[in-house]
Structure 1
Amino acid sequence: MGELRLEELSASTIVAANTLSLKPGQEVFVAPVSFSIAEAYVNPNTAWPRVVLEDDEVVGFIMGNFDPEAPNEIFRSCIWRINVSADAQGHGVGRFAVLQLAEEARARGFDRVTVIWESGEEGPEQFFLRIGFTVIGETEYGEQIGELRL
């Protein structure tokens, strides 16, 4: 594995981010990166879209939201999206992205990061639990709400 780094989403990385491959069965748990790009455009003051590069190749994407005024507390410091290329999964890319987002949250004065996921065999639940998230609730649709204390 090469050196990992995080960069702002840019014109030079947007196509690679939008075409990240997933493992079979994961597509039902992850919204396309293009949705995040649209959300970042609509919410430029709070959205935090980043790509993970291994050397110079885009291998992941993470989208955070930092809005201390959000009416719903779980959306004040949260992960909106995380996608890791199928070939890069299991190599620390997702962990790196989440920890970088957590550092950004801490630097902004937040004491936690939240995330919402749908449970399922190919879903991200075990990933989030392994890196330290704990389940703190459930949405009205049955999705899990996780929290990482900083």
Structure 2
Amino acid sequence: MRLEKITPENYQAALALSVRPDQEDLVAPVVKSLAEAYVFPEHAWPRLIYDGDRLVGFLMAFLDIPWGRSHDDLRSGLWRLNIAADAQRSGYGRFAVEAVCAEIGAHGGTRAYVTWEPGPGGPEKFYLKLGFRPTGEQSGGETVGVLDL
């Protein structure tokens, strides 16, 4: 498994990446993430996840984003994770989270944050299994989790 930058050669494949139909309301499509990365280039870290030559997912980290009302609270974490419908439950999500945590650590970060849509079918169990714990905060109606690195 490896991460690759989005390039003119692979962006169309990135846009075609889709999660399972029952997950479409839980995660934004890749095209929205790439638009956000364009608007916030100093904070966004988008990457494609490959297994050999096969595109299996997309992730986007956020690095040092001012959080809440205080601009002194800078946070980094996993902004978006889309694993292709036919590639789920194969370890790619875990690989993606570990890669984001490594990138945050390389930038001197000591915590990784993530948000998830609460409710049935959501990724809460996945993130809790990886060691994230709810902070008690909400962001846009989503649960905020943190992992100490």
Give TM-score, length-normalised by structure 2: 0.90
Q: SS at the partner of 2:94?
A: helix
Q: SS at the partner of 2:24?
A: helix
Q: CA RMSD in A?
A: 1.7
1:21 and 1:85 in contact (8 A); partners too: yes
Same amino acid, percent of matched pairs? 47
Amino acid at match of 1:104: E
Give the aligned partner of residue 34 of structure 2. 37
Instruction: Give 2:10's match in structure 1, choosing from 8, 13, 17.
Output: 13
2:77 and 2:101 in contact (8 A); partners too: no
- Superposed counterparts of 1:46-125, under 5 Å: 46-67=43-64, 70-72=66-68, 76-125=75-124
For 1:140 and 1:83, locate their aligned partners in 2 and report how far apart those are by CA, in whole Å: 19
- Offset of 1:19 from its aligned partner? 1.6
Q: Deviations over 1:15-51 (max 9, x none)?
A: 2222222223101101011111011111111110000
- Offset of 1:94 from its aligned partner? 0.6
For 2:119 and 2:105, locate their aligned partners in 1 and report how far apart those are by CA, in whole Å: 30
Quickly say closer, same or farther: Cα 1:74–1:143, change in 2 above 3 A.
Answer: farther
1:74 and 1:114 in contact (8 A); partners too: no
- The unaligned stretches of length 5 or more in structure 1 are none
- Offset of 1:57 from its aligned partner? 1.5
- The unaligned stretches of length 5 or more in structure 2 are none
Q: Which has the higher strand share?
A: 2
For 1:132 and 1:90, locate their aligned partners in 2 and report how far apart those are by CA, in whole Å: 17
Aligned residues: 146
Q: SS at the partner of 1:53?
A: strand
- Offset of 1:54 from its aligned partner? 0.9
- Offset of 1:86 from its aligned partner? 1.1
1:64 and 1:81 in contact (8 A); partners too: yes
Give TM-score, length-normalised by structure 1: 0.90
- Offset of 1:75 from its aligned partner? 6.1
- Offset of 1:141 from its aligned partner? 4.8
Quickly say closer, same or farther: Cα 1:140–1:58, change in 2 above 3 A.
Answer: closer
Amino acid at match of 1:55: G
Compare 102-111 and 128-137 and name the one that shifted more. 128-137
